Amino acid sequence: MDLVAQAKKNAGHRAADMVKDGIIVGLGTGSTVFFAMERLGERIKTEGLSILGVPTSHQTAMRAEEYGIPLTTLSLHPVLDIAIDGADQVTPSKQMIKGRGAAHLREKIVADAAKQFVVVIDSAKEVPVLDAAVPIEILPFAYGSVCKKLVELGGEPVMRNGVKKDGPVISDNGNYIFDCAFGKVDDPALLESAINSIPGVLENGVFAKMTEKTIVIVGKSA
C-alpha cells in the first residue's frame, strides 16, 4: 500500500472507530470513506457492532453490502447520528469542496441530516484557500441556461465526460455533472448560495455552512 493509501486508511479507520453501537450512520462516497466502511465491517463481525447505514450512492450501497453493513433510508431515519465522508479540498476553517465522485447532492443531503459530520482526508487535501473546480449537478433540460449564468458569476463550466463510456457523466439522480472553475474562492458560503440560486442547479460541491458540526480527520501515512 502506497503512502497516500495508507494515510486514507488511517483516517477512515479512525472515523469508523468513532461510531457507537446502535446508531444511524451516513456513508459517503469515495476511497477514504470505503476504508471507514471496511473497518465498520470488521467491527460488525468481531465486536457485534449494530448500526444502520444510509448510503450516498449506488457504489456505496454495493460496497456496504460487500462489507456486511445493513442499510436503511432517510425516509425511515430522517435524522442521522453521524455522517462520514471525504473531501477534495478542506480549509483550516473546515469549509470544503466535494464532488469528485459526482455524489455531492446526496452527500450534502446526508451531511445536513446528520448531527455530526466527520470528514476523512489525507494531508494533500488541506489547502489555505479553496481553488478547485466546483462540481455542480444540473438538470439536463436546463444546462444551457445554467452555464450562461455560471459564466456571468465568473465561472468556467465544463461538462464532465465519462472515462470508460462516451458522453457525459450521469449522476445517480439522472442529471449532468459540470465542473466549474472560479479560481480562488474568497467567500465559499456566498459562492455556494449564488450557484444554488440558479434555476436548474440541483446542488454544488461547496460545503461552507456545516462547519460547526464538522470534524476533520487527517490521516497519516505512518
Q: Give the active site residues.
A: 107
Average pLDDT in the chain: 96
Domains parsed from the chain with CATH numbers: 3-126+209-219 (3.40.50.1360), 134-204 (3.30.70.260)
Phi, psi of 209 (to 5 degrees): -120, 15
Indicate yes or no: pTM above 0.85. Answer: yes
pLDDT per residue as tens digits for the range 5-25: 999 999 999 999 999 999 999
Q: Which residues are annotated as a binding site?
A: 29-32, 85-88, 98-101, 125
Binding residues for substrate, as ranges, are 29-32, 85-88, 98-101, 125
5 burial level (CB within 10 Å; 0-12, 13-18, 19+): middle
Residues 55-66 have pLDDT tens digits of 999 999 999 999
Rounded to 5°, the CA angle 202-123-88 comes to: 15
